[in-house]
């Protein structure tokens, strides 16, 4: 089984803030999102990889591309989901160890 790298929470928050930053300049936000959406999706996939990276990068691409959805903290939510999944795996291993 391939070991997955978990990006830091700080990096995820910064990436989400970068996605929202395009709205700091009126009218430029939507134009810059067309450029930022594929870049953000690629970064997302490289950071998370695997199934989460695949589905998350597609969701991130759509979220950045469509107007009004930039408020969704995709990177941060994915970090939380990955940490929860890792906790479940650890718990499962502990429970299997107790049964043996």
Nearest to 41 by CA among 60, 63, 16: 60
Question: Whole-angstrom Cα distance, residue 20 to residue 72?
Answer: 9
Residue 3 lies in a domain: no
| Sequence-distant (≥ 6) Cβ neighbours of residue 71 within 8 angstroms | 20
Residue 1 lies in a domain: no
Residue 52 lies in a domain: yes
| Sequence-distant (≥ 6) Cβ neighbours of residue 77 within 8 angstroms | none
Residue 2 lies in a domain: no
Number of domains in the chain: 1
Residue 53 lies in a domain: yes
CB atoms within 10 A of CB 64: 25
What is the per-residue pLDDT for 54? 93
Domain region containing 28: 9-99
pLDDT, tens digit, for every residue of 79-96? Answer: 999 999 888 887 777 777
Residue 13 lies in a domain: yes
What is the per-residue pLDDT for 4? 60
What is the per-residue pLDDT for 11? 96
pLDDT tens string, the chain, 100 residues long: the values are 455 667 899 999 999 999 888 777 777 777 888 889 999 999 999 999 888 899 999 999 999 888 778 889 999 999 999 999 888 887 777 777 777 6
**Got the DSSP string for 16-46?**
HHHHHHGGGSTTHHHHHHHHHHHHHHHHHHH
């Amino acid at each position: 089984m391939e070991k997955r790298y978990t990006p830091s929470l700080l990096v995820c928050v910064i990436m989400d803030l970068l996605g929202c930053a395009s709205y700091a300049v009126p009218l430029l936000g939507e134009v810059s999102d067309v450029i930022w959406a594929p870049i953000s999706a690629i970064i997302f996939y490289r950071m998370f990889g695997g199934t989460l990276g695949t589905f998350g990068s597609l969701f991130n691409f759509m979220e950045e591309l469509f107007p009004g959805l930039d408020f969704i903290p995709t990177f941060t939510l994915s970090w939380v989901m990955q940490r929860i999944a890792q906790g479940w795996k650890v718990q499962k291993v502990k429970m299997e160890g107790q049964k043996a």
